[in-house]
């Protein structure tokens, strides 16, 4: 390839890159709790969940409880409506996508519902989450046909672009929540097609372990476990993000999932290693985790996985505290991802009375570490991960007495895609600066 083509390819990648804008802080909000996240700390709030009716229309929402909240607190805040989340919704989604006429009816109904209740976009969340409760069967519902899912994404994009052009209104946004497990990403998603039609992809980098497993393990490790083999090496956030980027997707199109819950396991044998036989007890909200740290639970930080666990008797909880969350937020910046998805924000300490870390300590930490930060357009450099942050909870670090986990147990662009809150001129200036810098460098290189 000659030099001109190389320069052109690099410049084209800058032009198509979804970068140069704000770092998104997406707060998933469960409607039934009544807990509103603080608008000043979230760039987007996702309201859950709408449902797909038997007639293939989107419904289940009678108002937008965040409409006045948005108007009074932050007019720039964008509020999404999510559809999916549980077995029934995913089964209905499969049925809706099975025929063209069903799919078209759904697509048109989303525009009507979103505009009626003044939502800014939709999130297709057809990934089951154990934070909402274990699946009703040992084999949870999954999207059956990845090609149909891609067609749905394209149809929604075209519908929203046409509606915006026809009415002169700001285009409705479209995001998709995808799995964070490599095998599922390969079998259930056409990642390149989804990246083209969605504004961004929320990566569900949690629920790596849960009710389907019979061992005690962390459900949202940042890095792979030492000694992990085979598929277990992929059950962590770093492996998921690196795999998706390796498919050619621009990193700024990806948002890293940050869970506000842990997973509790009860050991079922005399073995007390990570990876030992256990049964899943369920999800534990961050507020309850804070109570645990003050009531006799021991905290152990896993240096290989970059996350903590807490232990009491025959129970083990894999979770995130502010130390591991800071590592994950910095990781998202180092990988120049587009943002963080906090799931769900309701499990954060909304009153600031249970964790002694202020109101919404998780959301506030993300905001603090990304304030005035702009998603980089520069090439990925992957600097060493900073693992020296001091713990920010009240439990002490305990040297693990557990053995090294046994290997037999351890699994362990289209022009439409523009982030909504950017000021277009500022984005153009940022991109232009990078392009000019590169051209100058190339010119000097040629002179030399």
Q: What is the pLDDT of residue 382?
A: 47
Q: What is the pLDDT of residue 270?
A: 87
Architecture of domain 23-412: Alpha-Beta Barrel (3.20)
pLDDT band of residue 18 (cuts 50, 70, 90) is low
34, pLDDT greater than 70: no
Q: What is the pLDDT of residue 76?
A: 85
- pLDDT tens figures, 127-170: 877 766 666 666 777 878 999 999 999 999 999 999 999 999 99
Q: What is the mean pLDDT of the chain?
A: 82
Q: In the chain, what percentage of residues exceed pLDDT 90?
A: 59
Give this prediction's pTM.
0.81
If one compares 65 and 29, the residue with the highest pLDDT of the two is 29
pLDDT band of residue 395 (cuts 50, 70, 90) is very low
- pLDDT tens figures, 229-258: 999 999 999 999 999 999 999 999 999 999
- pLDDT tens figures, 425-435: 333 444 444 44
Q: What is the pLDDT of residue 100?
A: 97
Helix H, strand E, coil C: the string for the chain is CCHHHHHHHHHHHHHHCCCCCECEEEEEEEHHHCCCCCHHHCCEEEEEEEEECCCCCEECCCCCCCHHHHHHHCCCCEEEEEEECCHHHHHHHHHHCCCHHHHHHHHHHHHHHHHHCCCCEEEEECCCCHHHCCCCCCCCCCCCCHHHHHHHHHHHHHHHHHHHHHHCCCCCEEEEEEECCHHHHHHHCCHHHHHHHCCEEEEECCCCCCCCCCECCCCCCCCCCCCCCHHHHHCCHHHHHHHHHHCCCCHHHEEEEEECEEEEEEECCCCCCCCCEEEEEEEEEHHHHHHHHCCCCEEEEECCCCEEEEEECCEEEECCCHHHHHHHHHHHHHCCCCEEEEECHHHCCCCCCCCCCCCCHHHHHHHHHHCCCECCCCCCCCCCCCCCCCCCCCCCECCCCCCCCCCCCCCCCCCCCCCCCCCHHHHHHHHHHHHHHHHHHHHHHHHC
- pLDDT tens figures, 400-427: 444 333 333 233 333 333 333 333 333 3
17, pLDDT greater than 60: no
């Amino acid at each position: 390839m000659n030099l001109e083509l190389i320069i052109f390819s690099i410049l084209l990648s800058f032009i198509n890159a979804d970068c140069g804008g704000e770092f998104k802080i997406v707060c998933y909000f469960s409607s039934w709790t009544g807990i509103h996240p603080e608008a000043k700390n979230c760039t987007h709030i996702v309201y859950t969940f709408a449902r797909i009716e038997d007639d293939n229309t989107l419904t289940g929402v009678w108002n937008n409880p965040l409409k006045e909240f948005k108007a009074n607190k932050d007019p720039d805040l964008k509020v999404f409506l999510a559809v999916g989340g549980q077995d029934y919704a995913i089964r209905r989604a499969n049925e809706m996508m099975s025929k063209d006429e069903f799919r078209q009816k759904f697509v048109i109904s989303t525009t009507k519902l979103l505009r009626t209740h003044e939502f800014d976009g939709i999130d297709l969340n057809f990934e089951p989450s154990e934070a909402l409760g274990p699946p009703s069967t040992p084999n949870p519902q999954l999207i059956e046909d990845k090609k149909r899912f891609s067609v749905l994404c394209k149809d929604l994009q075209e519908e929203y672009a046409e509606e915006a052009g026809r009415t002169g209104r700001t285009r409705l946004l479209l995001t998709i929540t995808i799995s964070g497990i490599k095998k599922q990403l390969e079998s259930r998603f056409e990642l390149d097609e989804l990246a083209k039609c969605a504004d961004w992809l929320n990566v569900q980098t949690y629920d790596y372990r849960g009710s389907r497993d019979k061992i005690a393990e962390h459900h949202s490790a940042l890095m792979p476990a030492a000694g992990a083999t085979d598929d277990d090496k992929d059950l962590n956030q770093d492996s998921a993000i690196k795999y998706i980027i390796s498919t050619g997707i621009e990193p700024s199109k990806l948002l890293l999932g940050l869970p506000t819950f842990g997973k509790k396991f009860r050991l079922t044998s005399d073995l007390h290693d990570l990876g030992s036989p256990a049964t899943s007890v369920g999800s534990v909200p961050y507020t309850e985790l804070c109570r645990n740290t003050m009531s006799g639970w021991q905290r152990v930080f896993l240096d290989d996985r970059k996350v903590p666990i807490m232990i009491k008797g025959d129970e083990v909880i894999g979770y995130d505290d502010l130390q591991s969350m800071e590592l994950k937020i910095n990781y998202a910046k180092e990988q120049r991802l587009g943002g963080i998805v906090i799931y769900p924000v309701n499990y954060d300490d909304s009153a600031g009375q249970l964790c002694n870390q202020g109101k919404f300590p998780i959301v506030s930490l993300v905001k603090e570490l990304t304030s005035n930060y702009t998603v980089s357009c520069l090439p990925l450099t992957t600097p060493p991960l900073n693992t020296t942050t001091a713990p920010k909870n009240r439990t002490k670090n305990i040297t693990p007495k557990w053995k090294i986990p046994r290997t037999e147990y351890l699994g362990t662009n289209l022009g439409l895609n523009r982030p909504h809150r950017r000021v277009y001129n500022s984005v153009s200036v940022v991109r232009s600066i990078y392009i000019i810098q590169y051209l100058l460098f190339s010119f000097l290189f040629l002179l030399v």
